[in-house]
Amino acid sequence: MKGKTAHGSWKSAPQKKPSPCNRYKHACIICRGFIYLYGGRNTTGLKDFWRYNIVKNEWEMLDCSRNGPEELEEHSMVAYKGTLYIFGGMVDSAFTQGKTPLWIYDTDSARWTECCNVPAETESSAPANRKGHSAVVYRSSMYIYGGYFGIRGISQEFWAFCFDTRKWSYVSPPSHSTGPGPRHGHSAVVYHTGMYLFGGLMGLSEQKDLWKWDFVSSSWSSIRTSQGPPPVVGHASIVFRDSMLIFGGGISNSSCNGDLWNYNFHMQTWKKHSCTTKASFSPKMYHCILGVGVDFQTTSDVTSTFPSHWKSKQKGHQQLVAIPKHTRFCNYFCQQPAYRAFSNEESTAMEMKTFSSPLEPGGFGAFQTTSEAEPDPNRATSTLSKDEPLRLLVSSEEETCAAAQVVGEEGGPSCQHVPTVDAVSSDTNVLLLIGGKPLSSVSEISFWQMEFDSL
């Protein structure tokens, strides 16, 4: 993070109606250029399923009537190879105690798969329903930690779900490894070969401790620092470059905070970011944060930089292409390729151009960095700021092909070429804040963005 403190401001992100109602204790994830949102709580529990098109600023309600989840809150949702995995969050009852609360959604076929009930004699072979747990992806598995079971108390169970075999296994640390203990309302992220868990509730006490689970040695270690966020519950965290960002949260039954903290994994130090807010912005608790841009980690096995052979021919470092704010993607690159990938004999560089056409309000864009290689026209992602140019990020050759398809969908045949815009440094990323408590008086979901120029 270069030892600098970021200065950012929260701005309202554009969203067209219809849109989800405002909520908290919901779950969100970015998958192939879309934001997926499920459930949460408003005045009652919710069971609606939405998809946000970041290119068009449009919400779309998806069907979950067949094999989809019920009302869920404080559940988790992760994405792996185009498939969403939702776990936990059901109302605690005798029915849910004998049920594995896992639902799988294939984004290609738009179909739900519900895991079968767990027979009583093998209940220990899979985790029971819970709320307020954490879920992360490492390699080809989802890791679940903690949560609470209602009147049955708080859990310190650690489970792994293998995506390929669809089997659960209990993660058993060595006897000498103490670990975070029972807790819920915490957050967890994966960086390299470690899972970093922060805060949450242990009993009736909010925590501010930081723990690392080493996937290689299968052991816990406590990370002690002299500074850092106060004890919090209901916060959210995300990996940005070589750091973990933590936003919001608070003390139970009290006011929440609007602080944004950064923990540098290499330096093992905390820094508080200086943020400005509009009058309508309020601190949040039980919200979701997501990142758009190559410096935000979207899955555990993602590289956060451009491929090494895509370098600036002039400056010798990784670049992206800027598109002026009053431009729009054009139909099939106006019958000419917007880029030309040179063969190895010609060059290892890539040439990209921009196009002119009216742009709808908003305009910061980025192609989501993911580990999946298949071309997908829906993988173009953007987040929108009226004052900034649209920037096109390309993280793989396959995604560049996908970009061409998106251009074909978004524009019209009358688009014209404009001169190539000078490349700019790939240091702009957008942090998204979706929902959270307290709920605003506006019926649509709270949706904010903060742009990161450099940290």
pLDDT tens digits for range 182-228: 999 999 999 999 999 999 999 889 999 999 999 999 999 999 987 89
Grade residue 434 by pLDDT with cuts at 50, 70 and 90.
Answer: very high
**Structural domain span for residue 340:** 319-425
Which is more confident, 268 or 319? Answer: 268
Say what the pTM is: 0.74
Same domain, 287 and 378: no
The reply to whether 1 falls in a domain is no
Which is more confident, 316 or 27? Answer: 27
Same domain, 141 and 169: yes
The reply to whether 312 falls in a domain is no
* pLDDT, the chain, mean: 74
- What confidence score (pLDDT) does residue 420 get? 28
Same domain, 248 and 355: no
Same domain, 163 and 129: yes
Distance CA 430, CA 296 (A): 9
Grade residue 66 by pLDDT with cuts at 50, 70 and 90.
Answer: confident
The reply to whether 273 falls in a domain is yes
- Of 249-263, 336-350, 387-401, the least confident: 336-350
Beta bridge partners of 443: none
- What confidence score (pLDDT) does residue 124 get? 63
Same domain, 260 and 157: yes
- What confidence score (pLDDT) does residue 393 get? 39
The reply to whether 313 falls in a domain is no
- What confidence score (pLDDT) does residue 204 get? 85
Same domain, 391 and 441: no
The reply to whether 310 falls in a domain is no
Beta bridge partners of 136: 143
Same domain, 135 and 117: yes
Residue 361: pLDDT above 70? no
Distance CA 455, CA 437 (A): 28
Mean pLDDT (whole number) for 376-388: 42
Same domain, 433 and 402: no
Question: Contact, 291 vs 299, CB < 8 A?
Answer: no
Residue 138: pLDDT above 50? yes
- What confidence score (pLDDT) does residue 172 get? 86
Distance CA 449, CA 366 (A): 14
Mean pLDDT (whole number) for 332-339: 30
- What confidence score (pLDDT) does residue 404 get? 39
- Residue carrying structure tokens 């092909």: 401
Which is more confident, 34 or 352? Answer: 34
Same domain, 72 and 140: yes
**Chain-centre distance for alpha carbon 387:** 24
Same domain, 211 and 342: no
Grade residue 94 by pLDDT with cuts at 50, 70 and 90.
Answer: low
Which is more confident, 419 or 316? Answer: 316
Closest CA to 379 of 7, 33, 44: 33
Q: CATH number of the domain that 222 lies in? A: 2.120.10.80
pLDDT tens digits for range 169-179: 999 887 777 89
The reply to whether 80 falls in a domain is yes
Question: Contact, 252 vs 233, CB < 8 A?
Answer: yes
The per-residue DSSP string of 314-365 comes to TT-S-EEEEE-TT----GGGGGS-SEEE--TTT-S-EEE-EEES---S---E
CB contact set of 221 (below 8 Å; sequence gap of 6+): 177, 211, 212, 214
Residue 265: pLDDT above 80? yes
Question: How far, in Å, are 88, 90, 154, 195, 386 from residue 100 at the CA level?
Answer: 8, 10, 17, 24, 45
Q: Looking at the chain, how many residues does it have? A: 455
The reply to whether 156 falls in a domain is yes
Number of structural domains (the chain) is: 2
- What confidence score (pLDDT) does residue 362 get? 38
Q: In what order do the strands lie in the sheet with 447-452?
A: 274-276, 7-12, 447-452, 429-434, 288-292
